[in-house]
Amino acid sequence: MAEGRNKVLEQIMKSGTVKKGQTVIVGFSGGPDSLTLLHGLNKLSNDKGLDLRLVPVHVNHLLRGRDAERDQERAVEMAESMGLQCLVFRRDCRGFAAENSMTEEEAGRKLRYDIFLETARRLEKEDGKRPVIAVAHNADDQSETIFFRIIRGTGIRGLAGMNAVRKLEDYQVVRPLLNVTRAEIEDYIESEGLQPSIDKTNMDDDYSRNRIRLRLIPEIESSMNQGFRENLRRLGENAREDEELLDSLAEKAFDEMRFPEEDSEFLRSVTVDSEKFASCHNALCSRITRSVFQELGIAEGFSRNIMEEVKDVASSDNPSARLELPGGASVRRIYGKLVFSRAEPLVPSGKETEGHDGSDGSVKIFSGTVSGIREAEVREENVLSDGTRVMAVFDLDQLKKNYPGIEIDPEKADGCGSTGQGIVIRTRRPGDFIQTGVGRKKIQNMLVDMKIPKELRDSLKMAAVGGEILWILPDSRIKSGPLAEKGRFSQDYRTGKDDAGDKKVLAIEYRIQK
């Protein structure tokens, strides 16, 4: 019996899941597994100097009537016998399952982990130390989990089974008993003279997990392979090692194909090289796609089919191919790039602005003379820039020739004169055009030729007179090309460095807010 006791304590220490001086929240039903975990941690804390702050948490799911009440009372008593205070929470698991279209098993798990998180946050706030959450899954649970996943269908990640440590938001969930078998736990219980609570529903094979534990695995062990449980665990260990290698290769491939400078917080987007993604091995593509899902906050919906559809978009002959993804996201080809995004246009098409655009810049419109507004040399391309602002300068006489009613009122941000015909800052509208020097060009066609992402086109800011665009303003969301720096402006109203100082000009200043 002492051998079983020592094996439990040795495996808890060997797992490295708890460290000296930690606060440990222990999921404590009072059953054999959780009692062994709590008792073992308490023993190591006192006898081996780990000096742990142990906080047992018991959740009464209100499913088993008087039996659940007795288990709650016993959990409190067992914790007190170890000098510990057990925190008790009561939750209507059946009602929660019905409200959220879950099985009772799923609802119970969700409720428990929500309570663990709630407790962890409160304890951290009290003493400033981040606790860990310890649960009592054992080696047999690991075998059953892997077998259950095989039956349902899984990949290498699923075959790896449960990890000894996993993240739960900002906290760690640890499984110190993951390499301890159920037989070893029973030996520990007996050698320490413990009296755990017994949940009779664990003997009900109406539940899938119970059926695997009570019927399927024992039948295979008795008739085919006595070492079946151990073989399942070994399969899990092999799969975990393979998964770790593939994850590292996928991370490297992701870094090589990604354009981090084009990721956008506004768009919540991730951009990669479409050709590199399309040529990448499926084993890596699936992991890269899953990583993108995590970055975009897509909680569910990833599958092999999704990955293959994304790869079809990446390799499509259509340079604007698109696929809708779960969670309101999408992936689209933008020429040689593949953009995963949850974007929605910031400003509806054609909407006038109040002097601000989606790039955190402000716009001012005024008139004057070349010498009056020139603070730097007026270059041939009309644009002044000093890093904090960009100013486009246009021939005011030519503007008035084309638009006789135009007046520029310096007191008005949109430049509208008394006739109401003036410069406005807005997003594009159907029929908008810009003069290119060889004729007019539709804004839609120009944006396509400039390879501006489709999801950005409706939120770009433009200085317009009627349907004519004088200037497509620069935008910080675009990382290359003219719109990344100075914007694109009309060639019909150019001014030049040789213009006389008293030449009348219209100036539109875009000031970048740092």
What's 133's domain CATH number? 3.40.50.620
Q: Looking at the 3D structure of the chain, how many domains does it have?
A: 3
Does residue 349 sit within a domain? no
Does residue 245 sit within a domain? no
Amino acid, res. 278:
A
* 7 — pLDDT class (breaks 50, 70, 90): confident
* 384 — pLDDT class (breaks 50, 70, 90): very low
One domain, residues 302 and 372: no
Joined together, the tokens standing for residue 378 give 């007026």
pLDDT confidence of residue 376: 37
Identity of the highest mean pLDDT range in 241-250, 266-275, 460-469: 241-250
User: Among the residues of 270-423, which ranges form H helices?
Assistant: 274-279, 282-296, 304-315, 370-373, 396-402
Amino acid, res. 60:
N
Report the distance separating Cα 30 and Cα 44, nearest Å. 19
Does residue 244 sit within a domain? no
Whether the pLDDT of residue 412 is over 50: the answer is no
User: For the chain, percent helix, then strand, then coil, each to nearest 5?
Assistant: 45, 20, 40
Q: Rounded mean pLDDT of 465-475?
A: 87
Q: Rounded mean pLDDT of 391-397?
A: 81
One domain, residues 334 and 421: no
Contact 214/200 with Cβ under 8 angstroms?
A: no
Which string of b and e fits 236-275 if b means at least 16 CB within 10 Å? beebbeebeebbeebeebbeebbeeebbbeebbbbbbbbe
Binding residues for ATP: 29-34
One domain, residues 320 and 447: no
Joined together, the tokens standing for residue 431 give 């029929």
Does residue 47 sit within a domain? yes
pLDDT confidence of residue 407: 60
* 5 — pLDDT class (breaks 50, 70, 90): low
pLDDT confidence of residue 4: 56
Does residue 351 sit within a domain? no
Query: Which backbone phi and psi does 231 adopt, to 5 degrees?
Result: -65, -35
Quick: pLDDT tens for 101-124. 888 889 999 999 999 999 999 999
One domain, residues 323 and 225: no
Of the candidates 63, 61, 56, 30, the one whose C-alpha atom is nearest the C-alpha of residue 42 is 56
Does residue 363 sit within a domain? no
Amino acid, res. 163:
N
pLDDT confidence of residue 263: 60
pLDDT confidence of residue 330: 84
Joined together, the tokens standing for residue 91 give 């939750």
One domain, residues 110 and 192: yes
Provide CB contacts within 8 A for 483, sequence distance 6+.
Answer: 450, 452, 460, 472, 474, 475
Q: Rounded mean pLDDT of 492-505?
A: 67
Query: Which backbone phi and psi does 41 adopt, to 5 degrees?
Result: -65, -40
Amino acid, res. 113:
Y
Does residue 347 sit within a domain? no
Of the candidates 87, 109, 99, 106, the one whose C-alpha atom is nearest the C-alpha of residue 23 is 87
Helix and strand tally (H, E) in the chain? Answer: 18, 20
Whether the pLDDT of residue 470 is over 80: the answer is yes
The overall average pLDDT reported for the chain is 83
Does residue 477 sit within a domain? yes
One domain, residues 390 and 336: no
Whether the pLDDT of residue 131 is over 90: the answer is yes
- The CATH number of whichever domain residue 284 belongs to comes to 3.30.465.60
Half-sphere exposure of 14 (CA within 13 A, CB side): 10
DSSP one-letter code for 419: T
Residue 293 lies in domain: 258-342
One domain, residues 160 and 61: yes
Residue pointed to by tokens 């990583």: 291
One domain, residues 307 and 376: no
% of the chain exceeding 90 in pLDDT: 50
Amino acid, res. 14:
K
Whether the pLDDT of residue 419 is over 50: the answer is no
Quick: pLDDT tens for 325-362. 776 678 889 888 998 887 443 333 344 443 333 344 55
pLDDT confidence of residue 402: 83
CA angle 381, 382, 386 (to 5 degrees): 100
Quick: pLDDT tens for 53-70. 999 999 999 999 999 999
One domain, residues 174 and 39: yes
Report the distance separating Cα 163 and Cα 36, nearest Å. 20
One domain, residues 324 and 415: no
One domain, residues 320 and 210: no
Quick: pLDDT tens for 169-225. 889 999 999 999 999 999 999 999 999 998 887 777 666 788 999 999 999 999 999
* 501 — pLDDT class (breaks 50, 70, 90): low
One domain, residues 1 and 143: yes
Quick: pLDDT tens for 219-243. 999 999 999 999 999 999 999 999 9
